[in-house]
Structure 1
Amino acid sequence: MNTLGPVIAYYDALCPMCRREMSHYSKFGEEYIRLEDCNAPDLAEDVDREAALAAMHVRLPSGEIVTGVAAFIAIWERLPGWKYLAMLTRPAIIRIPLDFIYRKLAPLRPRDNCRDGVCSVD
């Protein structure tokens, strides 16, 4: 059992890569991670949709929201078998450059346009 409590990951469910990664994490169970699509109309009021689409957002059990690579670290440190990755990426000398790269690449991710109503089937 995870004594730290679950995190809530606000992710872009219209991104196939994001869905695949979050699906993998969700297999550990809701006692570790809960998933929320940041495209959903009932997104938490304190989560900015555009910011959440630009970079991963995670709500910690304390209620604090972390973003970018810090969000991934928050997930990894709770998942069995992933704590070492969290430990390796937490030091600023690694985390800061990774976060810079992540924030540059995240907007380039693929998105399913048909799922968000942009196209239709005749």
Structure 2
Amino acid sequence: MAKVTVWFDGSCPLCSREIALMRRLDRRDAILFVDAAAEGSVCPIGRQALLERFRAREADGPLLSGAAAFAALWRAIPLLRPLGLAARNKLVLKVLERLYLGFLRLRPASPALAASRRLC
């Protein structure tokens, strides 16, 4: 049974590529990946809200978003677990959240950027 559920935007080529990498790293099947853009996907909040920010939930914990959600994902993957544990520090999480917010500003252009660099 998955310990972490993540909701991602499967219509975003960059997001899909990143999730594909996370799936390969999840050798223990500890993560349930849910494409929030797919018809019929179960969403704990409105679909649009899920598509606007990366969301995750550890076990039966609260719904997390942004850097906190990435940290939950990282904690479920042994290779990335140290980074996820470091993000439990409020200062580290604050820095990661600022980086994530910067990415969100660039995200509308990211599919074109990814395609131009052959990431998708």
Structure 1 residue 86 corresponds to structure 2 residue 60? no
Residue 43 of structure 1 is matched in structure 2 by: 41
TM normalised by structure 2 equals 0.76
Q: How many residues align?
A: 109
Q: Distance in 2 between matches of 1:44 and 1:9?
A: 11
What do residues 6-49 of structure 1 show as CA deviations (whole Å, max 9, x unaligned)? Answer: 21110011112211111111122472111111112223242222
The gaps in structure 1 that reach 5 residues or longer are 113-122
Residue 93 of structure 2 is matched in structure 1 by: 95
RMSD (Å), alpha carbons: 2.2
Residue 6 of structure 1 is matched in structure 2 by: 3
TM normalised by structure 1 equals 0.75
Structure 1 residue 32 corresponds to structure 2 residue 25? no
Other structure's SS at 1:99 match: helix
What pairs up with 1:58-69 in 2 under 5 angstroms? 58-69=56-67
The gaps in structure 2 that reach 5 residues or longer are 113-120
Other structure's SS at 2:56 match: strand
Residue 23 of structure 1 is matched in structure 2 by: 20
Residue 73 of structure 2 is matched in structure 1 by: 75
Quote the sequence identity (%). Answer: 26
Of residues 26-35 and 16-25 in structure 1, the stretch that sits farther from structure 2 once superposed is 26-35
Tell me which amino acid in the other structure corresponds to 2:76: R
Tell me which amino acid in the other structure corresponds to 1:105: F
Structure index of larger Rg: 1
